[in-house]
Amino acid sequence: MEKSALIAGLEALLGKDRVLTDEQVILDCSKDYIGFRVYERFDGRFDVPRAACVVKPKNTNEVSAALRFLNEYKVDTVPRTGGSSVTLGLEPQEGGVILDGSDMNEIIGLNEYDMMVTVRCGTPLAYLENYLNERGYTTGHQPQSLPMAQVGGLVATRSIGQFSTLYGGIEDLLMGLEAVLPCGEVVRIKNNPRRSVGPDLRHLFIGSEGMLGFITEATLKIFKYKPEDRWMNAYAIRHMKDGLALFREIMVEGYRPAVMRLHDEVEVETLFEGVAPDEYNLLLFVAEGPKPVADATGAFIDEAIRKYDYVDLGKKPVESWLVTRNDTCDDMDRPKYYKMRAVADTCEISAPWSVIGEIHSAVRERMPEELDNLVTVGGHSSHSYVQGTNIYFTFGYFLGMKGGEYARPDYMHVVKIIMEETLKRGGSIAHHHGSGKYRTQWMPEEHGSSYTLLYKLKEALDPNGIMNKGVLLVERE
């Protein structure tokens, strides 16, 4: 469809003020925070396909009208809310449309008896959390991107928060939702504590990364918020494998601290300088809930760690982490590293306990062998389960000698090592950031024989293939 006809058609449906065509607005809405893109922007190399416009619906009816039109004319459509994507998930196709729900920003209802809150997709998580905290509640969902992310994007990426070991990921918190299918049809999944009525349809949208529809509304669980009753403590532990064994024991014995972080000795040097003795790894714990439960969890941890080579660091490191943990969102263009011509970023995977330590070691051994410009590679475990945990690799590489054109190839080399070492051992290649458009090539191996189900879902719900091309599915000829 001609760009002018596309814009005129959308303006006729939603009004001129809802269809934005300014080039800078389009670029800002296509912005993604994956490390190499941040570097490219800093280096003046940012060149992504240009959408024809950004459409900002005010309500579900407008989302539906826009999608019906875009589907009829087979226009590529990228849903967007908070814009904190780190996976290229927001980058459009040339001439496509960005459907931005950030003006659909409203807390529709707080149900204190049934303990849930219903919001529109563009509600900022930070606003929602403040609103709830003031009333003595929390969603229990605290991703590092809390100052940026909005509820639609959190559901669409299968997000997880820093307190997940107690509260779970967004999949454990979402009660029900409203979404608009690519054909414009509005569907609603009601809010219930559990149901046995067939496959759980919420999961068609949780983690769908905008490829099956547009999420317009979500209902999340809420919990009592009593930070004054927390137990917290930090320890240094000599061996990473001991830290992982301790985490396993805590989970297997039935304890659920909200926060359980194990940073390897590399990250202690790069992120927590001076907090733990040299060569030691750092453990941070927060237990919350009813005070006797939090204290019992703390007492177990304090006893269980005694069999290892460890140092008790008291609660100060946890208190300061709680204050600074989301500071990175204040300066997302990271001039600190980038002025030194280095790219720094993270990449997260998960695996069962039996192999997670091996993956961590294998990645740390292989990366310096293959990248002669590597500055650092470390990692931490921050989301644990009875059966295993995640590793969030942090890495940095220097581009000074090579030049900015290597930002992406070197980045993808780093990611390839992490993906291969994870897949080789049966782990999962994305713990919570999603596939976006940069991990898609590894999705066939990740999903194995079940991958065909994703294509079938796509064909059924989005037969014209208009929704967020390039995420999750390898394009077929």
Ligand X SMILES: Cc1cc2nc3c(=O)[nH]c(=O)nc-3n(C[C@H](O)[C@H](O)[C@H](O)COP(=O)(O)OP(=O)(O)OC[C@H]3O[C@@H](n4cnc5c(N)ncnc54)[C@H](O)[C@@H]3O)c2cc1C
User: What residue ranges bind ligand X (CB under 6 A)?
Assistant: 33, 78-86, 89-90, 101, 121, 143-145, 148-150, 152-154, 156-157, 159-160, 209-210, 214-215, 328-329, 432-433, 468, 471
Q: How far apart are CA 399 and CA 406, in angstroms?
A: 7
The residues near 453 (Cβ < 8 Å, ≥ 6 apart) are none
Q: What share of the chain is helix, strand, coil (3-state, %, to 5)?
A: 40, 20, 40
Which of 61, 93, 125, 122 lies closest to 211 in space, CA to CA? 93
Closest distance of CB 278 from ligand X, Å: 28
The torsion angles phi and psi of 409, rounded to 5 degrees, stand at -60, -40
Closest distance of CB 246 from ligand X, Å: 22
Q: How many CB atoms lie within 10 A of CB 102?
A: 20
Q: Taking CB positions, which residue lies at the least distance from ligand X? A: 153
Q: How far apart are CA 94 and CA 290, in angstroms?
A: 53
Nearer to ligand X (CB atom), residue 408 or residue 432: 432
Closest distance of CB 92 from ligand X, Å: 10
Closest distance of CB 79 from ligand X, Å: 4
Q: How far apart are CA 39 and CA 376, in angstroms?
A: 17
Indicate the pairing of strand 116-120 with strand 107-111. antiparallel
Place of tokens 């458009």: 437
Closest distance of CB 368 from ligand X, Å: 26
309 and 242 Cβ atoms separated by less than 8 Å: yes
Closest distance of CB 296 from ligand X, Å: 27
Nearer to ligand X (CB atom), residue 177 or residue 399: 177
Nearer to ligand X (CB atom), residue 85 or residue 105: 85
241 and 362 Cβ atoms separated by less than 8 Å: no
Closest distance of CB 446 from ligand X, Å: 17
What letter does residue 352 receive in the DSSP assignment?
E
The torsion angles phi and psi of 168, rounded to 5 degrees, stand at 85, -175
Sign of CA dihedral 84, 192, 291, 383: negative
Indicate the pairing of strand 116-120 with strand 97-100. unpaired
Nearer to ligand X (CB atom), residue 259 or residue 407: 259
The residues near 228 (Cβ < 8 Å, ≥ 6 apart) are none
Which of 434, 276, 288, 266 lies closest to 361 in space, CA to CA? 266
Nearer to ligand X (CB atom), residue 157 or residue 422: 157
Closest distance of CB 80 from ligand X, Å: 4
Nearer to ligand X (CB atom), residue 211 or residue 313: 211
Nearer to ligand X (CB atom), residue 119 or residue 236: 119
Nearer to ligand X (CB atom), residue 180 or residue 283: 180
Q: How far apart are CA 404 and CA 400, in angstroms?
A: 8
Nearer to ligand X (CB atom), residue 160 or residue 246: 160
Closest distance of CB 371 from ligand X, Å: 23
